[in-house]
Amino acid sequence: MKVLNRRLLFITIALFSISLFWLACETDLAIQATDTLIDGEKYPLPTPYNFVVPNFFPQPKFPKDNPLTVQGVQLGRHLFYDPILSKEGQMNCAGCHAPNIAFSDVTATSIGVEGIAGTRNSMPLFNLAWTPQFLWDGSAVTLEEQILNPVHDPIEMHLNWKVAAEKLKAEPKYVVMFGKAFGANTPIDSTSTAKAIAQFLRTMVSASSKFDKALNAQETGVQLSDKELNGFDIFDKFPRGEFGHCQHCHKRPLFSEVNDYFRNNGLDAWETKEDLNDLGLGGHTGLDSDMGKFKAASLRNIELTGPYMHDGRFQTLEEVIDFYMFEVQESPTLDRIMKTEFLNSGEPLLIQKNAKEDLIAFLKTLTDWDFVNDTSFHSPF
Amino acid sequence: MRKLFFAFVAFLFLAAISCKDKDNTATLELKINPTFGNKDVTLYEPILDENGQKVLLIDKLYFYISDLKLNEVGAAEEILLIDLEDVALNKGITAIKSGNYNSITLGLGVNEKLNHTDPASYENSHPLGSDHTDKQWTWETGYIFYKIEGKFSTQNDGKLDGDFLFHMGRDELFRTITINKTVNLVKDGTTEVVLNLDFEKLFCSDEGIDLKVESTSQAAPSQAELNEKFINRLVESIE
């Protein structure tokens, strides 16, 4: 009996220890499971990528099934700049997301491999580690899902994913790189390709603009000019009739929204959804209350990312501010703040002399040249 | 083997005493129930008057609650967020000493001590964290204590053709209210406390807010008179 009790005690303690060990290791399983033998050669396990969260930024949300690794990021960078993922090898992701303009496109709606223009403006790529939904209408809920679309879309890169995978498997360089990033037993396919590109994109952090440096003036010595500071006041404050009301939809530090993400900002007058050229969020939710709503995009690097709005209708920041001052249109889903403060306030939005000029001066302080010029985000070829 | 046994017993003992602080505590679940007179109100559903005409529709309603006390007995120093649009946040849950109480005191909004904290300094999902940046203006201005939004009939003709929006915040507009209410908290038990918010008192009484001319405020100092009036009416409308 005594022996039996001891055994029971031993088993209890062993089970307890195993469960503790299992809990501690759970988050690293994706990396631990990697097979490192590639073509008979042994490679080390992928190295966790050291992602640094900038001051004042929230904690990013990384998917558990796609942790950042040095090898995954490197593979993603190659894939992003390699035209191998387009129909006849004539276009890469950077074709619509150029690094020198914060990974955006100079055209209102980007033109794909078939020479056909899409219907929406190409969104700039940065701070995606904090983005909860993707595309102007939020139809992609993960970055990996978003990446799947442009490759096979006939008006973008127009390449069947099966063909894309075969092309990648035929490249010895990619066989090794995929193996190093995900293990030799992970197939080279749309899933692993999207995961690698997503890892690369998540490392693209823009948090070193003049504005960011001015927030840390003691260390950087950078200060905003009087004009820029006045522009910041206009941006950030909102007593009626005097200031811009910008920060309701473009909140610091990301200068976008984390939730309440989609809004109808009054670009067009319409009464029923049949009047709309683009249903926006309502196009995939089907809800009347979502019709004509689009993502409130980040204003970081806004100086570089025109043309503006989901359809690229405005060429300059002056045009955008003129729209908000004078041209907001009524419609059933118009954002309530737009309606009460912009449309029905009975007062002009910006009455200060030089308000527009100063606001633009402030917006230009959000340009992050350190990010734009960071060669680790540029082509490896 | 004996050493292992003692180690295990010691672990169990430590685990047990770590729970000692929870002795004599009970769980309080605070709910805010929107009403129109005696009728309950559901978000997004039109509110009808006695003639069956649509008069109001509420589509956004949340409150930050600070400094919750029962008969001046304090709850943990935490902020409750009650957001009727979010099923997961439709009640504020806190631990408080068990006992029989006859009043509840709470701060409508985020107290000054916490109002200017950085959302990035909290876990994202914390009520003051970065998942809730729609409930904050800026670090300087602070959190938006509550939002009450909806539609109303501008002509009293049953058409909900007007919008109203009240976003209140700023330290000077933080208010502490006390409501006489019997609350019995049993040790280790959970008690639900429901506060009714009467929109008939707030918007449709003689002293209420006249939405036809006072339909929007975002707590700007230039609207100080309306802000004060709104808060006074709101306080009177909660019971």
pLDDT, tens digit, for every residue of A47-87? 999 999 999 899 998 999 999 999 999 999 999 999 999 99
Q: Is the ipTM of this complex over 0.90?
A: no
CATH superfamily ID and name for A46-206: Cytochrome c-like domain (1.10.760.10)
For residue B82, give the 3-state DSSP assignment. strand
Domain ranges for chain A, please list them.
46-206, 210-365
- Across the interface, of B4, B123, B133, the residue whose CB is closest to A257 is B133
A210-365: CATH class? mainly alpha
Closest Cβ opposite residue B138 in set A252, A337, A339: A252
- Find the angle CA(A242)-CA(A216)-CA(A299) to the nearest 5 degrees: 50
Q: CA–CA separation, A15 vs A76, rounded Å?
A: 41
The pLDDT tens digits for A77-90 are 999 999 999 999 99
Summary mean pLDDT of chain B: 88
- CA–CA separation, A61 vs A129, rounded Å? 6
Residue B3: is it exposed, middle or buried by C-beta count within 10 angstroms (0-12/13-18/19+)? Answer: exposed
Q: Please, where are the H alpha helices in chain B? A: 2-17, 112-115, 199-203, 224-237
Torsion of CA A25, A31, A33, A39, to 10 degrees: -160
Q: Test B138 with A247 for CB contact under 8 angstroms.
A: yes
Interface A-B: count of C-beta contacts within 8 A: 69
**Is residue A32 scored above 60 in pLDDT?**
no
A236–B138 C-beta distance less than 8 A: yes
- Tens digit of pLDDT for each residue in B90-149? 888 888 899 999 999 999 999 999 999 999 899 999 999 988 988 998 877 899 999 999
Q: Enumerate the β-bridge partners of residue B32.
A: B195
Tens of pLDDT along A210-267?
Answer: 999 999 999 999 999 999 999 998 888 765 555 678 888 999 999 997 666 899 999 9
Please check whether the two domains, A46-206 and A210-365, share a CATH topology. yes
Which residues on A lie below 8 Å from B165 (Cβ)? 336-337, 340
pLDDT over 90, % of chain A: 70
- B108 Cβ neighbours under 8 A, 6+ residues apart: B63, B64, B65, B145, B146, B174, B175, B176, B177, B231, B234, B235
Tokens describing residue A341: 């403060």
Tokens encoding A73: 């990021």
What pLDDT shows up at residue A36? 62
Judge whether A147 and A198 are in contact, CB under 8 Å.
yes
The 10 Å Cβ neighbour count of residue A163 is: 13
Which residues of chain A have a CB within 8 Å of the CB of B136?
A: 251
Q: How is residue A295 written in tokens?
A: 């993502």
Q: Report the residue from A56, A236, A341 with minimal CB separation from B118.
A: A56
Average pLDDT on A107-126 reads 93
CA distance B10 to chain A (A): 13
Q: Using a CB–CB cutoff of 8 Å, tell me whether B227 touches chain A.
A: no
Residue A45 confidence (pLDDT)? 87
Interface touch B1/A12, C-beta < 8 Å: no
Nearest CA in chain A to B129: A58
pLDDT of A28 reads: 40
Q: Pull the structure tokens for residue B44.
A: 């997004």
Residues of chain B with pLDDT below 50 are: 14, 16-21
More confident residue, A311 or B94: A311
Give the number of other Cβ atoms within 10 Å of residue A332's Cβ.
13
Compute the half-sphere exposure of residue B127: CA atoms within 13 Å on the CB side of its CA: 26
Residues 8-47 of B with CB under 8 A from A: 8
- Taking the Cβ of residue B214 and every Cβ of chain A, the question of whether any pair is shorter than 8 Å is answered with no
